[in-house]
Amino acid sequence: MHNNKIGETGAQSICEVLNSNFTLTSLHLGENIIGEMGAKSISCTFYFSLTSLDLSGAQIGDDGTKSICGFLKSNSTLK
């Protein structure tokens, strides 16, 4: 999903659809316009399964960055 013009609402929708998917290990959303709310959704949704997360150039903002940092501090599956 890298560079697909996914915005904040799109990121939230992806999280809603994949909320119960515990087998997803990689998520590449770089070069999108995820926004702060999209980043917050990601940090709450994929807590247990992700081993790889790419948000490079995803325009997540300051609050989104804080959410992702909190997610990273408590996540033990990302490599």
CA angle 9, 4, 27 (to 5 degrees): 80
pLDDT of amino acid 79: 83
Q: What is the pTM of this model?
A: 0.86
What is the tens place of the pLDDT at every residue in 44-68?
887 778 899 999 999 999 999 999 9
The torsion region of residue 61 among left (phi > 0), alpha (psi -120 to 50) and beta comes to left
pLDDT of amino acid 60: 97
Domain boundaries, the chain: 8-74
What is the tens place of the pLDDT at every residue in 19-42?
888 788 999 999 999 999 999 999
Bigger pLDDT: 11 or 23? 11
- DSSP character at residue 45: H
| Cα separation, 49 vs 39, whole angstroms | 16
Write the secondary structure of 57-77 as one string of H (helix), E (strand) and C (coil).
Answer: CCCCHHHHHHHHHHHHHHCCC
pLDDT of amino acid 69: 95
Let me know: does 20 contact 46? Beta carbons within 8 Å: no
